[in-house]
Structure 1
Amino acid sequence: MSDFNKDDYLNDLPDADELANGQASPDADGADAPSDTGEQLKDDMLKDAAAEQSAGEQASEESAKAAAEATADAASDGDAEGSPLTPLGQAKKEAAEYLEALQRERAEFINYRNRTKKDMDRARQQGIIDVLTAMLPGLDDIDRIREHGEMDDSFKAVAAKIDKTFEKFGVEKFGLKGEDFDPTKHEAILHKPDPEASKATVDTVVEAGYRIGDRVIRAARVVVASPQN
């Protein structure tokens, strides 16, 4: 066995400059190790770039696939302009049309119902007016009898029932002595000067007036007391 020479061993070791430049000493078997770590780094970078490119291509394919599926869904729903409707889209369209037609028919029915109600009310009111107009002469006679006190209890009861019946149908009797003369509801058959009158007032009610609501059926025929001047 040869003696170990410390100086020879130390001389065979690579110096610091060689290690800094990436150079390695022969291994124990005498085979040379890779001399440049930059080549390894370059290979790793190329592998990473290839992996990134592959991932990008995969993502691009997935995006294209998703876009194609979205286009197919839009076409299937018939949302695209000019595209044919699917059975579901056609059903939705028909449902919307039926709803619009139903709403239109409902509005027309409501208008018809309101017109019918107004026509019925108008016809009912006209019927009351016709009956009242036909009975006016008799009602005037009852008023004259009542005014002269020639009415017995039985006749008074009948007259009261007639008045209540007309009140039930909205007929209002008006025209009282002493109230202000109003040409919109009074018909003056005579003007009588009155030195004590400061304004035109009803002096005598010849025939009472009748109205339904704001509609005057017959103006009250009265004698008017007017100021002399």
Structure 2
Amino acid sequence: MTEKPRAADPGATGSVPGGSAPAEPAAGDGPRVVIRNNRKIGKTEEAPAAADAGTDAPAEGLVEETEVVVDEIEVETVEGRVPAGPPVVDAPAQPVDGGAVAPLGAELEALRAELDERTRDLQRVSAEYANYRKRVDRDRGLVQEQATGSVLAALLPILDDLDRAREHGDLVGPFGTVAEQLTTALGKFGLTPFGEQGDPFDPTRHEAVAHQTSADVDEPTCVQVMRRGYQLGERLLRPALVAVADPE
């Protein structure tokens, strides 16, 4: 007996030859797999019997289509049974682009060059500042020395009077004490007297106002000091006035 072809189900998945596109599965339905079995219908001996029985026999030469619907396919996994789906493929590791290393190297070299330039600028500025401080300190010392020298030079005539009074024996009593205290206080500022009888003549420090010859000297010698000289540190404030005796 010929199997009666199954009528096309509007809600079933699949398509009938010459029909429209299959309907989309309802939301929440699992995946469905349709297996079709097409076979050609030919004449059989039981065809008349089927016609007598009042059944609709398919025409000779038609193709019979049978559908077997599998509602869901499950895949066994380690975690449990989950609906089958497309396999998850890890994205391949992106290869390291060698071309990206070159820009980084160039940028690093540029940063190093800029760092070296800034370091040289800092060293140059530091050296200039150190030289500036030394120059300022030296100038400040010179200004102080000049100011002190000006004040002491104004007091030298007073010291000359004290020396003459000392030679005549007038520096006695309280007046002598005051003269010694004044000389000591001025010495604290760096004032140093020079010029004593018997010193070798030094034209850079002595001013000769008289010359004579003597058999008692082997070199030019100061035989008389008319006025003592003074110097402030290494600076000459005033030369000494002396009489010089040359050897015969």
TM-score, length-scaled by structure 1:
0.58
Please point out which of 72, 92, 103 is paired with 1:75.
103
State the alpha-carbon separation in 2 of the partners of residues 101 and 156 from structure 1.
Answer: 63
Q: Distance in 2 between matches of 1:104 and 1:197?
A: 59
Q: CA deviation at 1:139?
A: 1.1
1:199 aligns with one of 219, 228, 237: 219
Displacement of 1:221 in angstroms is 0.4
Instruction: Extract unaligned runs of 5+ from structure 2.
Output: 1-94
The match for 1:187 is 207
Shift of 1:153: 3.0
- Alignment partner, residue 105 of structure 1: 125
Instruction: Report the counterpart of residue 135 of structure 1 in structure 2.
Output: 155
Give the whole-Å Cα distance in 2 for the aligned partners of 1:91 and 1:140: 72
User: Deviation of residue 169 (structure 1)?
Assistant: 2.2
Q: 1:189 to 1:93 in 2, by over 3 A?
A: same
Give the one of 133, 136, 140 matched to 1:116. Answer: 136
Deviation at 1:193, TM superposition (A): 3.6
Report which stretch shifted further, 137-146 or 177-186.
177-186
Distance 1:198 1:91, change over 3 A: closer
Question: Counterparts of 2:245 and 2:223 in 1: how far apart (Å)?
Answer: 5
Deviation at 1:73, TM superposition (A): 1.8
CA deviations 1:102-149 (Å, max 9, x no partner) are: 222211111110010010111111112111211111111111111211
Give the RMSD, CA atoms, in angstroms.
2.5
More helix by share: 1
Q: Find the partner of 2:146 among 126, 144, 159.
A: 126
Name the SS of the counterpart of 1:226 in structure 2: strand
Q: Work out which of the two has the higher radius of gyration on C-alpha atoms and give 1 or 2.
A: 2
Q: What is the 5 A alignment of 1:1-229?
A: 69=98, 71-78=99-106, 85=107, 95-227=115-247, 229=248
DSSP 3-state at the match of 2:139? helix
Give per-residue Cα distances to partners, 1:179-201, cap 9 Å, x unaligned: 22222211111123435344332
Letter in 2 for 1:159: A
Cα separation, 1, equivalents of 2:132 and 2:197: 46
2:242 aligned partner, one-letter code: V
Once the two structures are TM-superposed, the CA of residue 91 in structure 1 deviates from its matched residue by: 5.8
Give SS of 1:189's match.
strand
Which amino acid in structure 2 is aligned with residue 211 of structure 1? Q
**In structure 1, what is the Cα distance between the partners aligned to 2:110 and 2:245?**
82
What's 2:29 paired with?
Answer: none
TM-score, length of structure 2 as denominator length: 0.54
- Structure 1 residue matching 2:101: 3-state secondary structure: helix
**Runs of 5+ unmatched residues, structure 1:** 1-64, 79-84
User: Which has more strand, going by share of residues?
Assistant: 2
- Please give the alpha-carbon distance, in whole angstroms, between the structure 2 residues aligned to 1:165 and 1:213: 15
Letter in 1 for 2:131: N
Change (3 A) 1:217 1:76: same
Say which SS state the counterpart of residue 150 (structure 1) adopts. coil
User: Aligned pair count?
Assistant: 154
Which whole-Å CA distance do the structure 1 matches of 2:112 and 2:177 have between them?
Answer: 71
